Structure 1
Amino acid sequence: MPAVRAVLFDLDGTLLDTALDFYWVIDKMLADRQRPPVDRATFRQYVSEGARAMVSQAFDLPATTAQTDQLLTEFLTLYQHNLMVEARLFEGLEQLLEQLEAREIPWGIVTNKPERFSRLILQKLKLDRRCATLICPEHVSNRKPDPESLHLACEQLHCRPEEAIYLGDHLRDIEAGLAAGMPTIACAWGYLHKDDDPESWQADHVIRDTRELGALLNCL
């Protein structure tokens, strides 16, 4: 494998523990309706599936009903006004970013999270000037698992896909990386569903502890 010239991260469940904010938002919506809070262990499994899946699971509704649509709008509005209430980088990831920057290896984010949320999160974390590229669904025609967003990120970072590496906590992240011809790392500390088996995703590496990540990247 060529020397790594860029490192790309998925956002939710890989770089950032956003579930903490999603718990807050959904619990407020439930409390407003005199309903008990979510079971966090169960709810966490749906975070990487997106906002609609989270709302559907929390309110025990099908994904495509008018009621779900209304709750989804409320969820997204409330989330936008309460970004980074509790969310934070996963332990050890700030040090990893500093390590990459010290080695002059640019890093970026390729996410299915809308830009209006992603960019504001980076600003609040003061990462917006450090992040070399941010690719969101608005920037491409096809979101992950299609490789288009990863190809665009590599174009912006002036490297070939095989010279970058992509980290993600969902099968679609690894599928996108494989389709792009990019080495991949499956991040098993993320928002895995109980039926997920990262070992079967065909990633180049499966990492279960963020503390192992720096050592691995140092070897690449």
Structure 2
Amino acid sequence: MQRQLHGRAGAGMTMPMKPLVLFDFDGTLADTAPDLAAAANRQRLRRGLEPLPYERLRPMASHGARGLLRVALGITPESPGYEAARQQFLEDYARDIAVHTRLFPGVVELLEALRADGLRWGIVTNKITRLALPLVDHLALAEHAAVVVCGDTTPFSKPHPEPLLHAARSAGAAPASCVYVGDDLRDVQAGRTAGMKTIAVAYGYSGDGEPVANWGADAVVQAVAELRPAIETFRFPGMS
């Protein structure tokens, strides 16, 4: 069952198909890794293990519970006791979800500049609704977001393109007039399959897999300050 979208999704259905910039959340707009890493280390402490250095856990932040528990506890979804550990991790994270989480420097200025350019923006994240929306509200992103799609808004999650296509439909945007920005290979895969332009951000939680330059994104940026110029190069119809 689909959940109700947060933000202005409903009103967007009658708007002209103007360009839309969609962002991943963790590692792209918000630096959530400190609180995610703390929740992962709590699972180690519960088992009498020493906490891992933050640097070991940070690259896994975009991979959610699965990636963090793999590094913190050496378990996967196939391991005995994984689901119990995952639920405990989510409970611990929800309890202290916004202790150290902040928007990356420059994000507020970027979003304000996009609005001044006549571009709407939204969020498509694999983070489930009960974790994503409190943070979106806490970081004062909800008021101006055209749409927010969470990991359980549709039956699918990235790299499936449906969350991105759902966001475009809800905001009244054609996929060809959208760009998706993210810090994970799955973000680029989802965006390309959805028929959107893609930007990979190297400042996020790109993990220990394929190098960012090899993901096949239309552009790669090293810093938030580079995003606006990268978006401008696409010259979507309807941009002011």
Match of 2:67 in 1: 53
**Which consecutive unaligned segments of at least 5 residues does structure 1 have?**
none
Match of 1:122 in 2: 136
**Match runs of 1:16-165 below 5 Å:** 16-165=30-179
1:143 partner letter? S
Which stretch shifts more, 98-107 or 159-168?
98-107
Q: Offset at 1:196?
A: 2.3
Specify the SS of the correspondent of 1:194. Answer: coil
> Aligned partners of 2:133 and 2:228: how far apart in 1?
25
Under a length normalisation based on structure 2, what TM-score does the superposition of the two structures give?
Answer: 0.84
Equivalent pairs: percent with the same residue? 34
> Aligned partners of 1:119 and 1:56: how far apart in 2?
26
Q: Is the 8 A contact 2:37 2:68 kept in 1?
A: no
2:149 partner letter? I
Q: Is the 8 A contact 1:4 1:165 kept in 2?
A: no
Q: State the Cα RMSD in Å.
A: 1.8
Under a length normalisation based on structure 1, what TM-score does the superposition of the two structures give?
Answer: 0.92
Specify the SS of the correspondent of 2:181. Answer: strand
> Aligned partners of 1:140 and 1:26: how far apart in 2?
27
Q: Is the 8 A contact 1:185 1:203 kept in 2?
A: yes
The superposition leaves residues 7-36 of structure 1 with CA deviations (integer Å, 9 ceiling, x where unpaired) of 000111111111011122223333344322
Q: Offset at 1:104?
A: 3.0
> Aligned partners of 2:92 and 2:54: how far apart in 1?
19
Q: 2:192 aligned to 155, 178, 185, which one?
A: 178
1:182 partner letter? M
Q: Offset at 1:148?
A: 0.9
The superposition leaves residues 51-104 of structure 1 with CA deviations (integer Å, 9 ceiling, x where unpaired) of 122112101234322322222111101111111110111121111011112223
The superposition leaves residues 159-216 of structure 1 with CA deviations (integer Å, 9 ceiling, x where unpaired) of 1111110001111111111111100001111111233212111110011122211232
